[in-house]
Amino acid sequence: MNQRWQNFLIRDWQPGDRPIAAEIVKQVLEEYGLPWEPEGADAEVFQIEDYYWQKGGEFWVIEEADRVVGTAAYEPIARGEKAVEIRKMYLLPEARKKGLGQYLLLQLEQAIAAKEYQEIWLETATVLKEAVQLYEK
Sign of CA dihedral 41, 23, 66, 103: positive
In whole angstroms, give the CA distance from residue 111 to residue 12: 12
Domains of the chain (ranges, CATH numbers): 2-136 (3.40.630.30)
Residue 77 contacts by C-beta under 8 Å, 6 or more apart in sequence? 83, 84, 85, 121
Helix extents (H) in the chain: 18-31, 48-51, 100-114, 129-136
Furthest-apart CA atoms within the chain: distance in Å: 40
Give the pLDDT score at 57.
96
Q: What is the pTM of this model?
A: 0.89
Amino acid at 27: Q
Mean pLDDT in order along the chain per 10 residues (137 residues): 96 97 96 92 94 95 97 92 92 95 94 94 66 56
Angle, helix 100-114 to helix 129-136, in steps of 10 degrees = 50
Give the pLDDT score at 132.
46
Give the pLDDT score at 79.
84
